């Protein structure tokens, strides 16, 4: 006789279930209301699909909309997948990468077909409508485990360059899972590589509880040397009421946006000719100078001596500090013109002939420290600088005064 599985519930009760049973079966055994409300399951502390069978005896907690934080994580993840499916349905040939849930929504990075321009705000209404169509179709979301060879072959056959590259680099011992939207291998099915978990079907999403918000540029794997992608952002919620409340909060915040106030009060402005840098107007610069004066008073009170160090330093200094190897892509680098021995003009060669705008002050301060220390009795040495630093932040990450490329440290 087959031994039944013992499934322990949060209230202390234990359900005996047949081998091969799923959390969905437990929910149905408890009652039809819970079966309809359940979104996913927490099995021995791990969030799983409702349709994934138990491996053995387990502790089970069913996740419903009442578990808001976990429920939102699930629905936002699913909205991201529906977004990618919608884009590929509307524009065959679109390549997809990945799309996680975020603090208040989701995004997906995609590459438009070569036959069209990158996606823009003008495309969002059509994508939203297609997403609603997919949600209303209530397509089952089905998990499968695939072999590495089969998965790579699938992505390469479909021209999914990014997915194929990622699959090839996953650890050999990692279980590779995919999710079908629709009946596996069906005429209307769509496939994506994902660890999950997911809701039972697209119909568990509210078609009126999401909104696509904006698009931005992104790079494959966050590296600007790689292919440029389009990141489509959305916000997703459990119901329309939550969505409307969120949009209202955004509207109120926009009225107090520091970028808007900066223009209205004639303090500063930002413009395309200097991404990530600020044009300070007389009134705004007066505030800047007052802040500098305050900081100098605090430095004096703390026994700090103010110094000034170069903004541009040789690559060898950044190699020694460790920044060159780990931070170079976020630095502004420029070639240093070195006269050659034949007097035929400047040549540029080798790592030593590169200069970089400093992204932080500390390596330069170490050089000042090395010039003056003679004994441990000289310690402590307190140095401070209002140094102008530059960091090559991605264009899509820049945000007013909050995320910039030029700043004082």
171/204 same-domain check = yes
Domain boundary among 64, 81, 101: 64
How many other CB atoms sit within 10 Å of the CB of residue 283?
12
Q: Is residue 170 part of a domain?
A: yes
* pLDDT score of 222: 83
User: Last residue of a domain, which of 32, 64, 96?
Assistant: 64
Q: Do residues 115 and 165 both lie within one domain?
A: yes
Q: Are strands 305-306 and 383-384 parallel, antiparallel or unpaired?
A: parallel
**Between 397 and 194, where is the model more confident?**
194
Q: What is the CATH number of the domain that holds 90?
A: 3.30.980.10
- Does the residue 238 lie in any domain? yes
Q: Quickly list H helices, 230-343.
A: 240-255, 258-264, 282-301, 315-321, 323-327
Does the reported pTM lie above 0.75?
Answer: yes
Q: Considering the chain, what percentage of its residues have pLDDT values greater than 90?
A: 77
Residue 341 scores a pLDDT above 90: no
Report, as an integer, the average pLDDT of 126-152. 96
Angle at 259 between CA 258 and CA 263, to 5 degrees: 110
Same domain, 60 and 17: yes
Lowest mean pLDDT among 63-77, 146-160, 327-341: 327-341
Which pLDDT belongs to residue 338? 57
Same domain, 57 and 73: no
Residues 121 and 35 in one domain: no
Range in 118-127, 151-160, 308-317, 332-341 the model is least confident about: 332-341
Per the structure, how many domains does the chain have?
Answer: 3
- CATH number reported for the structural domain that contains residue 30 in this entry: 3.10.20.30
Rg (CA), the chain: 28
169 and 23, same domain (yes or no)? no
Range of 16's domain? Answer: 5-64
Mean of the pLDDT values across residues 286-314?
Answer: 95
Same domain? 103 vs 39: no
**Do the domain assignments include residue 267?**
no
Q: Does one domain contain both 148 and 173?
A: yes
188 vs 202: CA distance, rounded Å = 13
pLDDT band at 1 (very low <50, low <70, confident <90, very high): low
Statement to judge: residues 39 and 129 lie in one domain: no
In DSSP notation, 165-232 reads HHHHHS-TTSPEEEEEESSTT-TT-EEEE------SBGGGS-TTSEEEEEEEEEEGGG-TTS-EEEEE
Which residues, listed in sequence order, are joined to residue 47 by a DSSP beta bridge? 42
Q: Is residue 47 part of a domain?
A: yes
pLDDT of 337 > 90? The answer is no
Question: Is 270 within a domain?
Answer: no
34 and 140 share one domain:
no
Angle, to 10 degrees, between the axis of helix 124-136 and the axis of helix 68-90?
Answer: 110
Task: Kindly indicate the confidence band of residue 370, based on its pLDDT and cuts at 50, 70 and 90.
Answer: confident
Quick check: is 260 in a domain? no
Q: pLDDT confidence of 350, banded at 50, 70, 90?
A: very low
Residue 273 lies in a domain: no
Both structure tokens of 350: 């080798």
What pLDDT sits at residue 381?
87
Classify residue 263: in a domain, yes or no: no
| Same domain assignment for residues 369 and 229 | no
Tell the residue number behind the tokens 């322990």, with chain if given: 8
Q: Which of 20, 37, 64 is the last residue of a domain?
A: 64
Model confidence pLDDT, tens digit, residues 183-202: 999 988 999 999 999 999 99
Categorize the per-residue pLDDT at 340 as very low, low, confident or very high, splitting at 50, 70 and 90: low
- The whole-number pLDDT of residue 45 equals 93
Q: Are residues 198 and 243 in the same domain?
A: yes
């Amino acid at each position: 006789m087959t031994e039944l599985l013992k499934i322990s519930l949060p209230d202390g009760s234990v359900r005996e279930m047949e081998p091969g049973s799923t959390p969905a079966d437990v929910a149905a055994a408890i009652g039809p209301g819970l079966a309809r409300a359940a979104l996913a399951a927490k099995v021995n502390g791990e969030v799983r699909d409702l349709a994934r069978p138990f491996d053995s005896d387990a502790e089970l907690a069913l996740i419903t909309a009442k578990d808001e934080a976990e429920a939102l994580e699930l629905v936002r993840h699913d909205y991201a997948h529906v977004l990618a499916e919608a884009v590929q349905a509307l524009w065959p040939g679109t390549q997809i990468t990945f799309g996680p849930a975020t603090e208040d929504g989701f995004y997906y990075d995609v590459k438009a077909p070569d036959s069209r321009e990158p996606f823009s705000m003008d495309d969002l209404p059509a994508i939203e409508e297609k997403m609603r169509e997919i949600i209303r179709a209530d397509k089952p979301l089905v998990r499968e485990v695939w072999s590495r060879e089969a998965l790579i072959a699938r992505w390469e056959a479909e021209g999914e360059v990014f997915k194929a590259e990622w699959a090839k680099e996953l650890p050999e011992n990692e279980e590779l899972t995919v999710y079908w939207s629709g009946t596996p291998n069906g005429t209307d099915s769509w496939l994506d590589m994902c660890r999950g978990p997911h809701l039972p079907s697209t119909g568990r999403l509210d078609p009126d509880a999401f909104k696509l918000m904006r698009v931005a540029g992104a790079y494959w794997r966050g590296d600007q040397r790689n292919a440029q992608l389009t990141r489509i952002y959305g916000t997703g919620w459990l119901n329309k009421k939550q969505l409307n409340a969120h949009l209202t909060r955004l509207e109120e915040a926009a009225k107090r946006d520091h970028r808007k106030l900066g223009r209205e009060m004639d303090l500063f402005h930002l413009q395309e000719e200097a991404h990530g840098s600020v044009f300070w107007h007389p009134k705004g610069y007066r505030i800047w100078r007052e802040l500098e004066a305050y900081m100098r008073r605090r430095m004096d009170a703390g026994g700090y001596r103010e110094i000034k160090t170069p903004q541009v330093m040789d690559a060898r200094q950044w190699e020694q500090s460790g920044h060159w190897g780990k931070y170079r892509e976020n630095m502004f680098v420029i070639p240093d013109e070195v006269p050659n021995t034949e007097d035929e003009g400047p040549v540029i060669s080798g790592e030593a002939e590169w200069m970089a705008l400093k992204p932080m002050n500390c390596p330069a301060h170490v050089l000042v420290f090395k010039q003056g220390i003679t004994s441990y009795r000289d310690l402590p040495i307190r140095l401070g600088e209002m140094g102008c630093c530059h960091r090559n932040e991605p264009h899509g990450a820049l945000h007013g005064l909050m995320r910039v490329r030029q700043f004082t440290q």
